[in-house]
Structure 1
Amino acid sequence: MPHIDPASLKDLPTRIKYLRDFIEFTPADAATLNAAAAAPLTSLVLDAVYAKVFSFDITAAAFIPRHTGYEGATPAGVEELSLDHPQIKFHRNFLAGYIVKLLSSDYEKDASWEYLNKVGLMHTGVAGFAHRCSQYFISSVGVCTDWIRLPYRAKKPGLRVEYVHIGMLLGYIQDILINAILTHPALDIEAKTASVRALNKVRI
């Protein structure tokens, strides 16, 4: 039985190795994710996600305050929220970049896990992470996929989103993607199984 020192899990590479070993996230899982068609899956998710978060006042309210890195007009209230609002377009760009990263990252590189870790940390009130690009790497869906590189939030109020909302949203996104995989006419049962299992492993 391998020994895991709890204190060692404060180190990200050590924590990721433990996570990968435990859930058995393999290079084959990463290759399966990388083989996914990021552009159509991203487009499929985005409209559904914002329609869902705008359907509850408690989740819609999170999109009223000015988001870090956004300098345009902000909604005066939930009644002004729409997919066409500039701040929502700004946030959609970030989410699109996240989904593209999730499906296209090289999971053998520490930088890929550092990105996912920072996305999580920036929603816990921890300062020191940007909410915009330091360099613009434009993907096939026209979004920035190199977010969170600058110490931009260091002097900003902490961004805190309760996990109950994040967990529900991630579960909703996962459901959309799994349905897209299971109903895809060009995938056989082996490919569908591999895709669902790989996606489930990076959802946590």
Structure 2
Amino acid sequence: MPQGSSTPQKCPVIFTQEVDPVLIRVSLDDRIAYLTDFLGFTSHDAKIISRIAPLVNGLIPDLVDDMYAKLFEFDITKKVFMQRNQGFDGPLPSKLEDLTLDSAQIKFRKVFMKSWARRVLTSDYTSGKTWAYMDKVGIMHTGVSPFKHQRTMGIAPLNVPYRDCALMLGWVQQVLMRAVLKVPNDKLSPDDKAEAITAINKIIWIQNDLFSRHYINE
């Protein structure tokens, strides 16, 4: 109690929502509602992401190139690309040392990654289709295909440890944040930069959860 004050301070009354752990495990809509509510992802966050998209879109090709260079720094992350990925029917090297950043499958994978990065910046976050896409991105790294046409055609999906998926999302998050900070102040005010970084942080963590839910049974 402050000195000289006779009025006791009261703790705020917090409304506690009921969350069904089974429902958020089996229902994507309920899970997204929980994630966005917990992280405070709002229409304002979606708007600021859309606003910065034209300002950082140009860095995506370099971001993807740098991302694969990072993956090639470690044998456990490089070995993943010795497996044939879904939709790729070109040549594969027989030895890890023969796999290069110019290999056909790496070029193929970069196309997907550029598409994902652009969708993060330009998606309609009021649409369930956006969250369904991000959820399928998580599924497709577990060795289980989320796409019916791939299963029908016998196309094998990726099989990547969750550890490496989470690390790569963290790396992408850093790059996007640095890109926002480098935007000139006359194009994006410091306050808007702070809001953009916060919004990106929320989206990356939601995407991270939409990976982990398919690896971790909880």
Q: TM-score, normalised by structure 2?
A: 0.79
Give 1:84's aligned residue: 102
Distance in 1 between the 2:49 and 2:200 partners? 7
Deviation track 1:165-195 (CA, whole Å, cap 9, x = no partner) reads 1111111111111111112224221111011
Distance in 2 between the 1:84 and 1:159 partners? 19
Residue 87 of structure 2 contacts residue 155 of structure 2 at CA under 8 Å; is this kept in 1? Answer: no
SS in 2 for 1:73: coil
Give 1:26's aligned residue: 42
More helix by share: 2
Give 1:2's aligned residue: 17
Distance in 2 between the 1:52 and 1:153 partners? 30
Residue 33 of structure 1 contacts residue 103 of structure 1 at CA under 8 Å; is this kept in 2? Answer: yes
Give 2:151's aligned residue: 153
Which residue type is aligned with residue 190 of structure 2?
I
Tell me how many residue pairs correspond in the alignment: 184
Q: TM-score, normalised by structure 1?
A: 0.84
Gaps of 5+ in 2: 1-15, 206-218
SS in 2 for 1:84: coil
Which residue, 130, 137, 146 being the options, matches 1:119? 137
Give 2:8's aligned residue: none
Which residue type is aligned with residue 19 of structure 1?
L
Q: Highest Rg: 1 or 2?
A: 2
Residue 32 of structure 1 contacts residue 198 of structure 1 at CA under 8 Å; is this kept in 2? Answer: yes
Give 1:143's aligned residue: none
Which consecutive aligned stretches of 4+ in structure 1 deviate over 6 angstroms post-superposition?
Answer: none
Greater alpha carbon shift after TM alignment, 192-201 vs 36-45: 36-45
How much is the aligned-residue C-alpha RMSD, in angstroms? 1.6
